Amino acid sequence: METKKNLTKRTAILLWSFFFLAGLLSFPLLASDRHQGTVEFVLGGFTPNDDQFKKVYQTGGSIRGLVLSAYLVSNFNVYLEFKGWHKTGELTFSKAKTDFYLFPLTFGVRYIYPTTWFLPYVGIGTDYYFYYEDNPIGTATNYAHGYHFQVGTYFQASKRIPVWLNLKIKYTSAQTQSPNRTLQLGGLEYAIGLALVF
């Protein structure tokens, strides 16, 4: 079990990350005269890259959330993602029902290359995977810290319409310690998003 000191340290890191991003988003944007950022609604699929996890919860499931982004300089863009993911499975031996709730918080920087109709991008960043598991054996609440790499592209039907379609693939590595072993909560994610541009 983690000590209060470790929990306080982790909470402080999370809060500093949040305020750092808030500062960037409020900084006078120097980039594009076309737009400054986006508010995006995403829906996709996600599968943790852990063999033991897959035995209990089988394949992945749908993940959904909200993405906020803002331009810094030139074509560099910062983004913050809030998402949720839930799976129901069966314990390996007892076959009892178990539920797993995952809430990824992501911060990153990406380079967006503008063209006429689509805007491909590549991004990297850091992740905090908060999770809650509930079954007859007990409950567990913790989080994993990791990093990610993603590629994708926005599609714009018209420069006069402030709505973009987004297609992306993301891979995250995020490990945490369970009582008996290391659990890899990161994995492959693919998503489609609808972005409102401002």
Kindly list the domain boundaries of the chain, sorted by start residue. Answer: 29-197
Bigger pLDDT: 34 or 134? 134
pTM of the model: 0.79
Q: What is the pLDDT of residue 158?
A: 80
Residue 42 region by backbone torsions, left for phi larger than 0, else alpha for psi between -120 and 50, else beta: beta
Provide DSSP, 125-176.
EEEEEEEEEEETTEEEEEEEEEEEEEEEEEEES-TTS-EEEEEEEEEEEEEE
Query: Which range is least confidently modeled, 4-13, 33-42, 88-97, 186-195?
Result: 4-13
What are the backbone dihedrals phi and psi of residue 13, each rounded to the nearest 5 degrees, phi first? Answer: -60, -45
Confidence of residue 95 (pLDDT cuts 50, 70, 90): confident
Fold that domain 29-197 belongs to in CATH: Porin (2.40.160)
Say if CB 147 and CB 123 are below 8 A apart.
no
Please write the tens of the pLDDT for every residue from 108-121: 999 999 888 899 99
Q: What is the pLDDT of residue 94?
A: 86
What average pLDDT does this structure show over 111-132?
A: 93
d(CA 83, CA 107): 12
User: What is the length of the chain?
Assistant: 198
